[in-house]
Amino acid sequence: MTKAKELRLISYGSTSIGRVRPINEDAFLRDDHMRLYAVADGVGGQPAGEVASATALRELAKFLKFYSYSATDRSVATMLMALRKVSDAVLAHGLSDMRYHGMATTMTACWITHHRLILGHVGDSEAFHFHAGKLKRITIPHTVAGELLTRGVSEEHPVMKSSLSHMLTQSLGPEPLHNPQVCEVELKHHDILLLCSDGVTREILPVEISHILHHSPAPEQIVEELLRLADERGGHDNATAVVVKVL
């Protein structure tokens, strides 16, 4: 049997504190050797968001490192185990020090193996897949609005336009995970993967993201343009992006 060849990838990631927040509670992971990429956003209003996001990414890489040598181990089931392990680690870290009690974070991670990506997602950071000139959001936001949309509630419903719409319904750390999103997505040559925190998506429309991905040839250019635009439009939140391009 011929062994499937790994796709050739190039990637870039960066983060910006923005213009309003006193600290940057976002973090990102870009490991081309493990082919593992992730964005985490410490939950605002909770203590030590920057500690929570950093802890989540560190524990994710540590756990998945042991499953990176076999294609059969790189699976949705392994990613689900990783999310639960990471959530337990964030909780344990919070309980170990009163300064961190109650800390939480979102996380959106992609693990690439051969011609597919394995998605693990909790919270309101996002993952987009750009294929054949079309942009598709592959994450489901774990927010009040996101949950209602999956139940068929209209976008015109009053709650969709209220301050409650952005409230998280799930995060890593404060309580056991009940429904993290895990799935597989097939990758083709010339596809682009974008992971970003909500500091990007709240400032930039999907149609604008699609335009940037289409017209910027390199991951670094894409990331820097997204962060520049988010800052130009007010920089109301920390903004983080990781781009992976399939050659």
Task: Look at the chain and count its residues.
Answer: 247
pLDDT at 15 over 50: yes
Higher local confidence (pLDDT), 70 or 87? 87
Determine the pLDDT at residue 165: 74
Token pair, residue 236, equals 């109301």
Tell me if 99 is assigned to some domain. Answer: yes
| Separation between Cα atoms, residue 109 and residue 62, nearest integer Å | 14
Tell me if 5 is assigned to some domain. Answer: no
Determine the pLDDT at residue 45: 76
| Separation between Cα atoms, residue 103 and residue 174, nearest integer Å | 7
Tell me if 209 is assigned to some domain. Answer: yes
Tell me if 1 is assigned to some domain. Answer: no
| Separation between Cα atoms, residue 21 and residue 25, nearest integer Å | 9
Tell me if 161 is assigned to some domain. Answer: yes
| Separation between Cα atoms, residue 2 and residue 20, nearest integer Å | 54
- The pLDDT tens digits for 137-191 are 999 999 988 777 777 676 666 666 666 677 899 999 988 888 899 999 999 999 9
pLDDT at 136 over 90: yes
The parent domain of residue 38 ranges over: 24-233+240-244
Average pLDDT over residues 103-117: 96
- The pLDDT tens digits for 16-30 are 999 999 999 999 999
Tell me if 17 is assigned to some domain. Answer: no
Determine the pLDDT at residue 1: 45
Tally the domains of the chain: 1
Q: 20, 22, 24: which is closest to 39 by C-alpha?
A: 24
Average pLDDT, the chain: 92
| Separation between Cα atoms, residue 222 and residue 209, nearest integer Å | 9
Tell me if 11 is assigned to some domain. Answer: no
3-state secondary structure 207-234: HHHHHHHHHCCCHHHHHHHHHHHHHHCC
| Separation between Cα atoms, residue 214 and residue 121, nearest integer Å | 25
Determine the pLDDT at residue 203: 97
| Separation between Cα atoms, residue 178 and residue 137, nearest integer Å | 22
Which CATH number goes with the domain that contains 62?
A: 3.60.40.10
Token pair, residue 223, equals 């990331």
- The pLDDT tens digits for 180-221 are 999 999 999 999 999 999 999 999 999 999 999 999 989 999
| Separation between Cα atoms, residue 203 and residue 25, nearest integer Å | 18
Q: What is the CA radius of gyration of the chain?
A: 17
Average pLDDT over residues 126-144: 95
Tell me if 177 is assigned to some domain. Answer: yes
N-to-C CA span, the chain: 25
Q: Up-side HSE of residue 80: CA atoms within 13 Å toward CB? A: 10
